[in-house]
Amino acid sequence: MKIAIGNDHAATDLKMEIAEYVKSLGHEVINFGTDGHESCDYPAYGEKVGRAVAAGEADCGILICGTGVGISLAANKVKGVRCGVCSDTTTAHLIKEHNNANIIAFGARIVGSEKAKDIVKAYLEAEFMGGRHQSRVDMIGEIEQSQR
């Protein structure tokens, strides 16, 4: 899979570690984040990953900022993106299984690197269940369409 990854300055070190981990799982990583530690604006990186996933340039995305919240809010403004913040593996696999999330986010100030790897693995190994969940995902899409 091609996986887009993005981050702000608070998450540079964790992004680099997660990118290497994702590569070790056999996936391609497209880096849309900063590689520096100077203060920068997380919305720009959330949007870049969101646009890449929505356009099909990447199969899914991983976003990391201080908490995961701000960068996920930015990504969710991109039409076609369903991004959720995950601080545990249960949420990580359920947002794929139930919500067909195409991007996950987490906070470098919230989870450590080993927990982040577990979250990423749980998300990447999960599959959308469809069925009753599809109609709910469709409802989300309808809300999105009505706002644009």
CA distance 33 to 49: 9
User: Considering 27, 37, 40, 65, which one is annotated as catalytic?
Assistant: 65
Residue type, 23: K
Could you identify the residue written with the tokens 């990186």? 45
Half-sphere exposure of 49 (CA within 13 A, CB side): 35
- What DSSP designation does 41 have? -
Active site residue 65: yes
End-to-end CA distance of the chain: 30
Residue 123 host element (H or E): helix 113-125
Annotated catalytic sites, by residue?
A: 65, 98
